[in-house]
Amino acid sequence: MGVLLNFGPFQTSSQIFNPIALKIPQFIIITKHITMKKTLFSLAIFLMVTVVAQAQVVITEIMYNPPESGNDSLEYFELYNLNNTSTDISGWTFTQGIAFTIPSGTVMPPGGYLVLAKNANAFASVFGFAPDFVWASNDALTNGGEDIELRDATGNVQDYVNYLNALPWPPEAAGSGPSIVLCDFTSDNTLPANWQAATTGTGVVVNGNEVKGNPGAASNCGGSNSLAAVDDNFSVPSGQTSILQVQSNDLIVDQLTVFEFT
Ligand SMILES: [Ca+2]
Ligand SMILES: [Ca+2]
Ligand SMILES: [Ca+2]
Ligand SMILES: [Ca+2]
């Protein structure tokens, strides 16, 4: 994994360290230092993320309108634990979208998934495994779009996605088979640009449309692992600190060193 930052006419190389998960605001602080090395005039730019990472259990996939007509039994959505440590989500509640309280003793390992579905049998018949939890049968994920909101045991909002069934959200997910999937789990999942219609086939065809989704697994829908500066000609005066805004689907790193040589 590498990163190349284009700062205009300079030749750049970089090192990337441990990725961390961030939501907006996504800014990185850049300080430029100038050193002399033999006859080369070298500039080192140190980038440091100064935003404190939040608790990171995030909504990463939503099947709100499977291709069934009438009552949708194949609805589900997926959570992912971005933390480096296990996260106890006992007593966390969904307060919008559906009403559900996570049972006690529920711990998500780092990098773990959790799938909630409307109907365990319907879900298992398509995906071949049981969902972790099933919500009340009189709850549904609205086909026209709605907010799904997750709060922790003390009532603080930990994550939410207010999806819609039309552009700029992926319109294919509005009953034509696919779920919507967050391509980069570290990106801001409130932004429709970070979601795509799932392309993972199941072989199950309903009303002429194949159900497509990947509950409990990565989306594999690509997305950029590179850091793309909004302004390619970004510059920092020597000894000063500036702020570089990065795009919402960029992979944010906790430290990135860029060396420039003239
Ligand atoms: Ca629905
Ligand atoms: Ca439907
Ligand atoms: Ca609902
Ligand atoms: Ca998934």
Measure 218 CA to ligand 4 centroid, in angstroms: 5
**Residue 243 and residue 47: Cα distance in Å, rounded?**
9
In 3-state terms, what secondary structure has residue 200?
A: coil
Measure 62 CA to ligand 1 centroid, in angstroms: 10
Measure 75 CA to ligand 1 centroid, in angstroms: 6
Residue 244 has pLDDT above 60, yes or no: no
Q: What pLDDT, on a 0 to 100 scale, did the predictor assign at position 240? A: 59
189-194 mean pLDDT: 95
Q: Where in the chain is the domain with CATH 2.60.40.1260?
A: 57-212
In 3-state terms, what secondary structure has residue 88?
A: strand
Which ligand is nearest to the Cα of residue 148, counting in written order?
A: 3
Task: With CA atoms as reference, report the closest residue to 206 among 118, 126, 97.
Answer: 126
**Residue 100 and residue 159: Cα distance in Å, rounded?**
15
* Residues of the chain above pLDDT 70, percent: 63
Q: What pLDDT, on a 0 to 100 scale, did the predictor assign at position 99? A: 98
CA distances to 125, 148, 250 from 161, in Å: 27, 5, 19
Q: Which residues of 118-136 are buried (b: 16+ CB within 10 A; e: fewer)?
A: bbeebbeebbeeebbbbbe
Q: What pLDDT, on a 0 to 100 scale, did the predictor assign at position 85? A: 94
Which ligand is nearest to the Cα of residue 64, counting in written order?
A: 1
Q: Pairing state of beta strands 209-212 and 201-206?
A: antiparallel
Contact 180, 236 (CB under 8 A): no
Q: What pLDDT, on a 0 to 100 scale, did the predictor assign at position 220? A: 77
Measure 70 CA to ligand 1 centroid, in angstroms: 9
Rounded to two decimals, the pTM is 0.68
**Residue 140 and residue 232: Cα distance in Å, rounded?**
45
Residue 110 has pLDDT above 80, yes or no: yes
**Residue 16 and residue 202: Cα distance in Å, rounded?**
36
Measure 190 CA to ligand 4 centroid, in angstroms: 16
In 3-state terms, what secondary structure has residue 180?
A: strand
Which ligand is nearest to the Cα of residue 195, counting in written order?
A: 4
**Residue 168 and residue 145: Cα distance in Å, rounded?**
12
**Residue 23 and residue 55: Cα distance in Å, rounded?**
10
Measure 73 CA to ligand 1 centroid, in angstroms: 8
Which ligand is nearest to the Cα of residue 214, counting in written order?
A: 4
Residue 81 has pLDDT above 80, yes or no: yes
Residue 36 has pLDDT above 50, yes or no: no
- pLDDT tens digit string along 130-172? 999 999 999 999 999 999 999 999 999 999 999 999 999 999 9
Give Cα 234 to chain centroid, integer Å: 27
Contact 211, 66 (CB under 8 A): yes
Token pair 């997305």 is at which residue?
A: 223
Task: With CA atoms as reference, report the closest residue to 163 among 178, 153, 132, 186.
Answer: 178
- In words, the CATH class of domain 57-212 is mainly beta
Which ligand is nearest to the Cα of residue 98, counting in written order?
A: 3
Residue 43 has pLDDT above 50, yes or no: no
Instruction: Please report which residue ranges of the chain form alpha helices under DSSP H.
Output: 120-127
**Residue 239 and residue 72: Cα distance in Å, rounded?**
60
Residue 259 has pLDDT above 70, yes or no: no
pLDDT higher at 41 or 152: 152
230-244 mean pLDDT: 52
Residue 250 has pLDDT above 80, yes or no: no
- Which residue type does 43 have? L
